[in-house]
Amino acid sequence: MRTILLGPQRFTIRATAALRSLETHGPVAVVNPGWEEREDATGELDAALDHRSVHLRLFHRFTDVLEKDSRFAAAGLRLRDRHDELTSLYRLRLEHTLDGVYAVHRRLPHHPARARHSQAARALRDCVDEIRGIDEWYLDRLRKLHGEFADESGMATSGVIGWHREELRAMLDSCAVLVLPGGNVGSLLRALRLFSVRIPDRMPVIAWSAGAMVLTDRIVLFHDFGPEGARESELLDRGLGRIPEIVAFPHARRRLRLDDRGRCSVLAMRFGDERCLLLDDGSWIEIGADGLLPPGARVLGTDGLVATVGSR
């Protein structure tokens, strides 16, 4: 199993070299519903993929389902409203609790040896556990919402959904590589789930931005430089799990306050054993069957500093 995660492709195009490095010759399946209405605007992407693209057009198919399956569409609206309510409560709990976490972090002694064994360090670990509990609460409630939606929408027995799933399965079976570009990560994940897209372990995958995020266990939304100021990092949903124990942060330099050690330290501590992988322009991270990050990968440490895998 080979998975190549790239940095954003807007300024530094590495998709062509990544594809050629796989030394495959068959068609390349492209899944880009994250582009939404621009899903078919693929001229530059096709050129970058040596004109081997087979577009699965999941956003177009999703729209087709909404138009033809009224039961599914009505259930989708109810899910949206319930999800919006859950998300607002999640953010409320998260923001208030994180305020306390940052306040405790500021009480840590400056000397590392003293900080590790201080009362503040023990309090900080407890506070971070609270944040993890809120994250798990949200994911548990979201899983139940998805279960209710599956029952209410009748997707398992929908003729139009079943037709698209079968066609997509056949198309994917005929391809040698899967490419997952960026875009809206929620739209990408929603389409992949609706059509039960399963990526065979044997199939190499190239992904960047939102595409890299959906391959992980948990998808994290983040933006410290948003138009309304810093926004606390929050979970969107569980991902596909092809790359376990990694949290992907595309555009890290542009979206994270990497010079704020306290904020970065809390972020890394929050995800425990999962590595916070920074994917900036020019990044090329190849992960094999062992799931380990290769030397040179940049990760966020619990000390709030950026570290390079394999360096001393």
Q: Which of 101, 132, 153 is the last residue of a domain?
A: 153
pLDDT of residue 312: 65
Listing DSSP states for 246-275 in one string gives EEEEETHHHHS-TT-HHHHHHHHHHTTTSE
Q: pLDDT tens digits, residue range 283-293?
A: 999 998 888 89
Same domain as 175, residue 291? yes
Helix/strand/coil (H/E/C) assignment for every residue in 15-52: HHHHHHHCCCCCCEEECCHHHHHHCCCCHHHHHHCCCC
For the chain, how many structural domains are there in total? Answer: 2
Q: pLDDT tens digits, residue range 110-132?
A: 766 566 768 888 999 999 999 99
- Residue 228's domain spans which residues? 3-67+158-308
| Cross-strand bridge partners of residue 53 | 28
Same domain as 119, residue 76? yes
pLDDT of residue 120: 86
Same domain as 24, residue 118? no
Phi, psi torsion values for 305, nearest 5 degrees: -105, 155
Q: pLDDT tens digits, residue range 78-96?
A: 999 999 999 999 999 999 9
Place of tokens 């004109």: 51
Directed axis angle between helix 58-68 and helix 70-105, to 10°? 130
- How many C-beta neighbours within 10 Å does residue 2 have? 16
Report the alpha-carbon distance of residue 213 to residue 25 in Å, rounded: 26
